[in-house]
């Protein structure tokens, strides 16, 4: 065995990429320092080794050998070259249903094998599901059996362990529990894979625990409208608070979802979490008004008069307190909704009636967006992203009220929030429309109208600022910007708008 480079570290261990010379294959060599292990930790490590040696399954990480040396333990494990499932979730946000189903089937097969041997894993989460890829084939294997325990008699397990957002209710309530705790964790994972956010969330572990114990979750239409009923039924059969009523792993292997034929390999193009969103940058008045008017003539696109939510609320947002607290977030939503409803130029629906926002609808969508971002960023959100989630919910509400699929934000000032826009929408959804125009024409168009203060310097100064923001966006994400030249727009309007 030859050791090579380090590719992983833990509290008590270092993982090296090694090579099995006899078999010409890579292996993972996990080296644990014995000096830092207490008696309980050493006992748990030996139990983990024993359990891994007993198991043999295509979706469970294989242990090749283990050695006890005076200063360390050395465990030789199967090497997985694709990282872990958490990395995929971080990159993709969520998976299409077919890939999610394949992963869940493999995981449920591994869990079934464990439960047949009366073993509970007790820490199933994306970080503990390892990936190996060869071409288009993706193989997952369950690893990290540090909390694994035998269920000697039914519901004999008592230890509170695992990762809070994935732990079963009976574990959190400190009730005696059994192997079905793994089934619950797999259900949470299935929800995250397809929805892109946690089914049970809160500002701290206490709130998360309360939501888990109550078992309250829902399938937000924005993220679940394209997911099959069979997938939702699978989750409903798994996320049941009472473990006696929860379907077992072996029975779940024959669930109809795993034999469903008509699943989408990718979300449909009109799925709300894949629809592009449009922001205008770089231009102001006159020529940009031409473009706005013509864009509004598209049957699928609508753009309200901008109320400048980000510009007007960001200077005040600290006064709303910690926005991770539901009460503060709800208060901010109320203020923003009222601000837009009282906008000087009203937001009307397709019947010409002034829109009144349903606070619950706005809250649910904005909250789901925040949870998705927390999972994606693996950290707390800044206030700009909280406010942007509300802005996004209001724009979607406006589009729905007008029977349109897409919306465009006409506020040029949104270009100042490019970093947050890119983080919130991602490169696949975010689109900028940049109207390129001679600055002299812009200035003269202001001078010849009743709009503005008619000061040439002030007009050019504002134009230069907008151009600076637009150029920064062009340099950062050029593929996300559609350049439209004013002269070409006037000559060939229909083709340019398409």
Last residue of one domain, picked from the residues 205, 232, 259: 259
Asked if residue 376 is part of any domain, the answer here is: yes
Do 238 and 338 lie in one domain? The reply is no
Q: Which of 111-120, 220-229, 287-296, 333-342 is predicted least confidently?
A: 287-296
Instruction: Give the pLDDT score at 267.
Output: 46
Mean pLDDT of 16-37: 85
Do 51 and 161 lie in one domain? The reply is no
Last residue of one domain, picked from the residues 78, 94, 120: 78
DSSP string, 37-101: --HHHHHHHHHHHHHHHH---TTBPPEEEEEE-SSEEEEEEE--TT-BHHHHHHHHSS--HHHHH
Tokens of 312: 């007007």
Higher per-residue pLDDT: 368 or 273: 368
CATH for 190: 1.10.510.10
Asked if 19 and 28 count as a contact pair (C-beta separation under 8 A), the reply is no
Tokens of 485: 């030249």
Mean pLDDT of 22-39: 86
Digit-coded pLDDT (tens) for 171-180: 999 999 999 9
Do 144 and 23 lie in one domain? The reply is no
Instruction: Give the pLDDT score at 256.
Output: 93
Instruction: Give the pLDDT score at 197.
Output: 82
Do 241 and 310 lie in one domain? The reply is no
Asked if residue 183 is part of any domain, the answer here is: yes
Instruction: Give the pLDDT score at 247.
Output: 95
Higher per-residue pLDDT: 109 or 444: 109
CA distance 379 to 423: 13
Do 104 and 227 lie in one domain? The reply is yes
Active site residues: 123
- 3-state DSSP call for residue 215? coil
Average pLDDT, the chain: 83
Instruction: Give the pLDDT score at 379.
Output: 73
Instruction: Provide the pLDDT confidence category of residue 388 given band limits of 50, 70 and 90.
Output: very high
User: Who's near 247: CB < 8 A, 6+ residues apart?
Assistant: 183, 237, 238, 240, 255
Do 475 and 405 lie in one domain? The reply is yes
Higher per-residue pLDDT: 51 or 432: 51
Beta bridge partners of 281: 434
Asked if residue 266 is part of any domain, the answer here is: no
Instruction: Give the pLDDT score at 236.
Output: 96
Do 489 and 347 lie in one domain? The reply is yes
Asked if residue 71 is part of any domain, the answer here is: yes
Answer whether residue 392 shows pLDDT above 90.
yes
Instruction: Give the pLDDT score at 95.
Output: 85
Provide the terminal-to-terminal Cα distance of the chain, rounded to the nearest Å.
62
Asked if residue 270 is part of any domain, the answer here is: no
For the question of whether the overall pTM of this predicted structure is more than 0.85, the answer is no
Do 463 and 341 lie in one domain? The reply is yes
Answer whether residue 92 shows pLDDT above 60.
yes
Higher per-residue pLDDT: 451 or 419: 419
Do 247 and 294 lie in one domain? The reply is no
* Closest to 398 measured CA to CA, from 287, 309, 462: 309
Answer whether residue 11 shows pLDDT above 50.
yes
Do 198 and 249 lie in one domain? The reply is yes
**For the chain, how many structural domains are there in total?**
3
Range(s) of the domain holding residue 49 = 2-78
Answer whether residue 491 shows pLDDT above 60.
no
Higher per-residue pLDDT: 252 or 376: 252
Answer whether residue 147 shows pLDDT above 60.
yes
Asked if residue 393 is part of any domain, the answer here is: yes
Instruction: Provide the pLDDT confidence category of residue 268 given band limits of 50, 70 and 90.
Output: very low
Do 89 and 213 lie in one domain? The reply is yes
Asked if residue 268 is part of any domain, the answer here is: no
**Extended beta strands in 282-389, E state:** 301-302
Answer whether residue 33 shows pLDDT above 80.
yes
CATH for 434: 3.40.50
Do 407 and 294 lie in one domain? The reply is yes
Q: What are phi and psi of 266, to 5 degrees?
A: -140, 155
Instruction: Give the pLDDT score at 278.
Output: 87
Place of tokens 């950290």: 379
Answer whether residue 291 shows pLDDT above 60.
no
Asked if residue 199 is part of any domain, the answer here is: yes
CATH for 61: 3.30.200.20
Q: On the CB side of 293, how many CA atoms lie within 13 Å of its CA? A: 9
Q: Which range, 134-138, 341-345, 380-384, 406-410, has the best average confidence (pLDDT)? A: 380-384
Last residue of one domain, picked from the residues 259, 292, 319: 259
Instruction: Give the pLDDT score at 294.
Output: 55
């Amino acid at each position: 065995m030859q050791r090579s480079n380090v590719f992983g570290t833990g509290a008590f261990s270092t993982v090296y990429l090694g090579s099995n010379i006899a078999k010409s294959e890579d292996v993972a060599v996990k080296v644990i320092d014995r000096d830092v292990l207490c008696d309980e930790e050493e006992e748990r490590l030996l139990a983990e080794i024993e359990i891994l040696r007993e198991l043999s399954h295509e979706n469970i990480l294989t242990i090749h050998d283990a050695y006890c040396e005076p200063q360390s333990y050395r465990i030789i494990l199967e090497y997985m070259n694709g990282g872990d499932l958490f990395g995929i979730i971080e990159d993709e946000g969520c998976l299409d249903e077919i890939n999610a189903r394949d992963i869940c089937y493999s995981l449920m097969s591994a869990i079934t094998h464990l439960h047949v041997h009366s073993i509970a894993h007790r820490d199933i989460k994306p970080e503990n599901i390892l990936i190996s890829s060869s071409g288009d084939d993706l193989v997952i294997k369950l690893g990290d059996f540090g909390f694994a325990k035998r269920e000697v008699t039914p519901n004999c397990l008592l230890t509170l362990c695992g990762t809070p957002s994935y732990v079963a209710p009976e574990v959190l309530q400190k009730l005696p529990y059994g192997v079905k705790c793994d089934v619950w964790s797999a259900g949470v994972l299935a929800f995250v894979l397809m929805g892109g956010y946690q089914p049970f969330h809160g500002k701290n572990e206490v709130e998360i625990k309360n939501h888990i114990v109550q078992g309250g979750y829902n399938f937000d239409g924005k993220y679940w409208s394209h997911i099959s009923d069979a997938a939702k039924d699978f989750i409903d059969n798994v996320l049941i608070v009472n473990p006696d009523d929860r379907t077992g792993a072996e029975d779940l292997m024959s669930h109809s979802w795993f034999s469903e034929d008509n699943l989408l390999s990718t979300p449909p193009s009109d799925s709300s979490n894949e629809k592009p969103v449009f922001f205008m940058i770089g231009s102001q008045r006159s020529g940009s008004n031409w473009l706005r008017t013509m864009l509004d003539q598209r049957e699928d696109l609508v753009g309200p008069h901008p109320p400048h939510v980000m510009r007007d609320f960001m200077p005040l947002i600290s006064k709303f307190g910690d926005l991770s607290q539901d009460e503060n977030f709800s208060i901010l939503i109320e203020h923003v909704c009222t601000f837009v409803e009282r906008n000087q130029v009203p937001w009307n629906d397709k019947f010409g009636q002034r829109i009144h926002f349903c606070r619950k609808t706005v809250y649910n969508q904005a909250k789901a967006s925040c949870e998705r971002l927390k999972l994606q960023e693996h950290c707390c959100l800044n206030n700009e992203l909280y406010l942007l989630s509300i802005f996004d919910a209001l724009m979607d509400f406006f589009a729905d009220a007008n029977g349109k699929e897409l919306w465009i934000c006409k506020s040029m000032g949104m270009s100042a929030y490019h970093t947050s826009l890119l983080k919130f929408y991602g490169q696949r959804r975010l689109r900028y429309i940049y109207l390129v125009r001679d600055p002299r024409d812009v200035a003269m168009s202001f001078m010849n109208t009743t709009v503005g203060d008619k000061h040439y310097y002030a007009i050019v100064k504002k134009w230069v600022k907008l151009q600076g923001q637009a150029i920064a966006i062009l340099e950062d994400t050029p593929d996300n910007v559609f350049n439209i030249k004013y002269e070409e727009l006037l000559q060939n309007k229909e083709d340019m708008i398409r």
